[in-house]
Structure 1
């Protein structure tokens, strides 16, 4: 009955951290390769800036506008690939005051230049478009536009497209390997409503057509899927943490509740500054924006829809009670400012770099507030409800495959296991902060991250990373008894796998150094004489 209850709880818990993450496909289509692959049409130019101008009609659920894309040519470029969902209408693409010829294939748009663009050229084109964007049926897990009404019957509009792709609603180079160095977002919204986007507000101008254009500027590189619009009956209030501006935009009738609830931001920032370094986008400030869906890590404009509740919409995914001490969306999505927005995986196959560290940041925050024991209990609690061990964490590269949902809490428990292997908390925290600061404002991949951790520790961590990331099954410590002796080894799944573990034997602590070969456990006479510290290590024990 206990198992049945846990299963029911897992089914109905709001999985807000699992934003639009899908299992890897067994086969892929041309559409997948066009979206996820890197060919000369994509890699031969570098995006420098997006200047996005969009008008939103909430009643018709229709958008129109253009994106001025500034770029630099890295290699001779006769054909450029940009991306826009096939249901959206292309009005024209203008380069040097001339219409560019183009061909569409699935969601890709191939621009053909009469004279190939020369190496070193910095220039821009303007991509005009319009249409009825795909609506999300279950945001944020299902990508698309969100057209809702607030409690006063006023329009409330947003969008969430991680995984699905930002080209769902605006033309861009839709691949994480390339980010614009800066962006401007200009959104025309109906009068009486405000638009909130990334960065800082630079202007608002009423128009003759009953709309107001709200203009925002981003001064840092930004992921395509992070660029956002939020239209609603918003009111603004602000605060500061040290020299960081904190800005909050909530629906007008939520103001007093939000002022009290968002006080959690300050202790969170104190914790994250200590362990991850300064907020990565200080010039653009930090924002929480109330959204009509649960949450998303939109850079400097985090979507917040947790209804001013503790936990995850009032639930504790760990089933320990610890998850009800804090607001899940504030903590998890803010952690993405460091891991995901500042440190970005070049291919979404490596999205564990975003999600494992952001999920582990939940435990970091718990440890800052309520101690290490509570953090370890929380991570262990997440194993029973939020880890499946049915597919590898890493997806297939080049085909827009994000891999397994286990990138979240299996990834977080992997990091906790690495901490236990290093067995020096000061070294661990120095390592995490050094990783965050060294990789700040960078696009990276699994190999680079593993190499960094390996190069900065005395223990070889590569085999451990590979086991958790590349295999569905977690490391299994096997025991057997033969000839009155107890033997132990790691089940041979990852070649040459070694990882030290602590065992409690007759109330004393011993560190074992298992490998793939059978070794004698000299300290015990029977298999049952030992106990594993399960809070420190996420492994399985098997008695043969």
Structure 2
């Protein structure tokens, strides 16, 4: 993620649209599931069963309630029906998972909307809710090691989460539709799941949308590749598939009116670009820039980790940030060149190689920020050393606040996207580059993205790789730049 200005809040969502029309009929799967779920009820019955309850939360220091214990999700199949005029969403989420313990019941993270019922392996399951915890008790206990399928039917108006500074995430209305933005907790507002970055999965996301008054369908853009499109008369259904593992905070759906461009990189990688017509003039050139950045980053960081790339340029200027949604970074308005570099660099650092815990976000943001420095350096602009110096002496416009806390020790959930994670994280990488030399440094980056491709990793693993590759003890360097309070006295 990138804030357009480091000290600016991400902005507040606009007021709801004025005119509304009645919601239309839902997709067929919703009706079929609803009929089955009449038998399920919604109260926890408490019948005895073998196994134990999966934990609520995975023990993340910064987000203790996020994620759930007892299972590992392998796939999400989301069948959604959305009406922009009413901002109502009807959904069926099929969560395929493997039990890592015997389960008498288990939790899913889900905030808001109405749960109509649930099944586990086709049998009605008991449902209970407590805040953002959705607890399912299956008809029979689930044995350790067994793969199971939980299906949840739900509907309503999805929430937009807003923090004390006005930063918004979740399901955010735009002037012609909506967009789903998930970092760090927003994805649980539009589908139930195991919403912690340590549990990555593949996705099928199918979205039905109506046609407007002129008979034109709304566009729907999501992660991965568009594998099917169907016109059902009053609605159009689009099916997007992500075959590489993805953390839930990177999942997205953008509904609205877009100019769609399909092209390819020099290596033949498909590029899918969706640009709001109101941003078309400012985004002129992005069709050439995205493939150029992907080609450059592939040389620097190793092969591009996904089967397609692209971008969504929306018209939501009050949002105030961009997000590295997998395969198609989201921009709230026409982005500048370095912002495109930053979000595309995240496809390697954060999306493919994902932190095991939120405290290690510097592995995302520090790397993506340093990619900006490298891009400028490689194109004859300021060198990375010059950019480092401007951050250190406070003359860089994004240097404010970088000494507030050590980048590997964010004090709370609100600091995972704060300046030290970005600027001082990038400075740490530059100090590593100085210490080990360019050959070893870029070997480290390529090895990092290859070794942990589509997986999770942490700071300790990165330090170990740096020391093993360089043959040097870098304890003092990482202690000074990642973990010590305040501005280092010597550079």
For Structure 1 versus Structure 2, the TM-score category normalised by the shorter chain is 0.7 to 0.9
Aligned residue number for residue 178 of structure 1: 199
Output the CA distance in 2 between the equivalents of 1:357 and 1:170: 29
Match of 1:15 in 2: 6
Q: 2:107 aligns with which of 81, 100, 108?
A: 81
Q: Per-residue displacement from partner, 1:450-471 (whole Å, max 9, x unpaired)?
A: 1111211122123322332222
Query: What do residues 245-276 of structure 1 show as CA deviations (whole Å, max 9, x unaligned)?
Result: 22211124655764534322233223211110
Cα distance in 2 for partners of 1:396, 1:256 equals 39
Q: Which runs of 5+ in 1 are unaligned?
A: 1-11, 21-29, 150-154, 311-326, 478-538, 540-544
- Offset from partner CA, 1:168-222 (integer Å, 9 cap, x none): 2210111111111x210011222221100011111122335x3211110111001
Question: Offset of 1:333 from its aligned partner?
Answer: 0.5
Contact residue 295 and residue 333 of structure 1 kept, 8 A:
yes
1:349–1:257: structure 2 CA closer, same or farther, 3 Å change rule?
closer
Q: CA deviation at 1:364?
A: 1.3
Larger Rg belongs to: 1
- Checking the alignment, whether the CA contact within 8 Å between 2:80 and 2:206 is kept in structure 1 is yes
Aligned-pair CA distance for 1:81: 1.5
Report what 2:331 is aligned to.
304
Find the partner of 2:359 among 342, 346, 349: 349
Pairwise CA distance, 1:357: 0.6
CA offsets per residue over residues 428-469 of structure 1, 9 Å max, x none? 222222222222211111211211112111221233223322
Superposition CA RMSD, Å:
3.0
CA contact (8 A) 1:349 1:401 kept: no
Give distance in 2, aligned partners of 1:433 and 1:471. Answer: 27
SS state at 2:344 partner:
helix
Deviations 1:457-499 (A, max 9, x none): 122123322332222213224xxxxxxxxxxxxxxxxxxxxxx
Structure 2 matches for 1:38-437, cutoff 5 A?
A: 42-85=68-111, 87-135=112-160, 141-149=167-175, 155-180=176-201, 182-191=202-211, 192-207=217-232, 210-241=234-265, 242-252=267-277, 258=283, 260-281=285-306, 283=307, 285-291=308-314, 292=316, 293=319, 294-307=321-334, 310=336, 327-370=337-380, 373-383=382-392, 384=394, 385-388=398-401, 389-395=403-409, 402=416, 404-422=418-436, 424-437=437-450
1:520 counterpart residue number: none
Is the Cα contact below 8 Å between 1:46 and 1:71 reproduced in 2? Answer: yes
Structure 1 441/195 Cα, relative in aligned 2: closer, same or farther at 3 Å? Answer: same
CA displacement 1:53-95 (0-9 Å, x = unmatched) = 112222222211111111112221112111101x321111112
Moved more, 429-438 or 216-225: 429-438
The runs of 5 or more residues in structure 2 that have no matched partner are 12-55, 212-216
Q: Give the secondary-structure state (helix, strand or coil) at the position aligned to 1:354.
A: helix
Task: Say which SS state the counterpart of residue 176 (structure 1) adopts.
Answer: coil
The 2-side partners of 1:368 and 1:338 are apart by: 19
Q: 1:286 to 1:70 in 2, by over 3 A?
A: same
For the 8 Å contact 1:454–1:461, the answer to whether it is kept is yes
Tell me the TM-score normalised to structure 2 length.
0.80
The answer to whether the 8 Å contact 2:290/2:310 transfers is no
In the alignment, the residues of structure 2 paired with residue 137 and residue 105 of structure 1 have an alpha-carbon distance, to the nearest angstrom, of: 20
